[in-house]
Amino acid sequence: MTRTVVRVAEVRQEAAGIRALRLVRDDGAPLGPYEAGAHVDVVGPTGLVRQYSLCSPPHEPSSLLIAVKKEAASRGGSAALHTVQAGDTLEIGEPRNLLRIADAARHVLVAGGVGVTPLLSLAYELDRRGAEFELHYFARAREQAAFADLVAAEFGARLHFGVPRAEQPTLLKEVAADLPPDARVYTCGPEGFMAQVGAVFAPVVGAERVHVEHFVAAEIDTSGDRPFTVELDTGEVFAVPADKSILTVLGENGIEVFSSCEEGICGSCVSGVLEGEPDHRDNCLSAADRAAGDQMALCVSRAKTPRLKIELY
């Protein structure tokens, strides 16, 4: 993985437990532009690698902005980044994107809490294009809402603070009622929140037009897992036992596959499927990608057929 050394040029407290880090290169070389919706791997002070959405305008190359929420159950990643100060150095990977802007006459962005971070770059890009879009931002309270003033001032975002989860679908249905069937919806936030967004908008625009960005891995029931065979397009064949992933088996056999989170979130190990039917268990591929059946995340997904033939990207 190619990594770039960056300096923390600015640290700003965006909300309770959320701080923004502006990153630059010491030599003044550009860090962008990047594609709206992208995220990067960040190597923190403890050496742990975590993924963070890019929040800065995608077309401005001088710096990158990430926002880090300090998780209560942090294993050292977010907590370590909350000790970083201006002038410190970090390493970042190349931007990767799983939440691209799709063609549509109208776009709706629906954020829940810190889930506003990947949607912020989408809003910058849609605004730059002169596209028709609206941004709705839900948070428990104003003090917990990062970038709230910015999105309200820059994009006319509608801020919904303190709305109980059970009452959120009523507000979302009002938005959905005014949408044409070819609109696109993009959402990020807690899993339950995104499930509600999908339940409201999918019947209006179709599930494949609701684009979701996940921050946490889904719980997977592995009790019924069975062994299968995976063949590479080079002809090499490997047995994948019930208790190991394709990624693990390939690594044990000296086959290098780029990976990062190994939880089915970041998309770094997504590879092509040439034959067989994958059992998708990731949170990175879209509904349309899964339905196509021509790619899969090797770290968590398995096979519905006895054999898969794959192509490493």
Total number of domains constituting the chain: 3
pLDDT at 202 over 70: yes
Domain limit, last residue, from 97, 120, 141:
97
Burial label for 236, CB within 10 Å (0-12, 13-18, 19+), is exposed
Q: Do 81 and 46 contact (CB within 8 A), yes or no? A: no
Dist CA 21 CA 197 (whole Å): 29
Nearest to 258 by CA among 310, 309, 297: 297
| Angle (nearest 5°) at CA 189 between 262 and 219 | 40
Assess if residue 144 is contained within a domain. Answer: yes
Residue 169 domain-assigned (yes or no): yes
Which residues span the domain enclosing 271? 228-311
The pLDDT tens digits for 115-166 are: 999 999 999 999 999 999 999 999 999 999 999 999 999 999 999 999 999 9
**Token pair listed for 117:** 């971070």
Lowest-confidence pick of 168-182, 220-234, 256-270: 256-270
State the pLDDT at residue 216. Answer: 67
Main-chain dihedrals φ then ψ at residue 255, nearest 5 degrees: -95, 110
pLDDT at 248: 95
Average pLDDT over residues 80-87: 95
| Domain annotation covers residue 162 | yes
Please indicate, yes or no, if residue 219 is contained in any of the structural domains. Answer: no
Q: CATH no. for residue 46?
A: 2.40.30.10
Tens digits of per-residue pLDDT, 22-59? Answer: 999 988 899 989 999 999 999 999 888 889 999 999 99
pLDDT beyond 60 at 74: no
Cα separation, 161 vs 123, in Å, equals: 20
Domain closes at, from 213, 245, 262: 213
Question: Does one domain contain both 117 and 206?
Answer: yes
pLDDT of residue 125: 97
- Strands 270-275 and 295-297 turn out to be antiparallel
Predicted TM-score (pTM) of the model is 0.82
Q: Are residues 307 and 240 in the same domain?
A: yes
Whether residue 221 is contained in a domain is answered as no
Same domain, 134 and 153: yes
Residue 305 pLDDT > 60: yes
220 is a domain residue: no
Same domain, 237 and 209: no
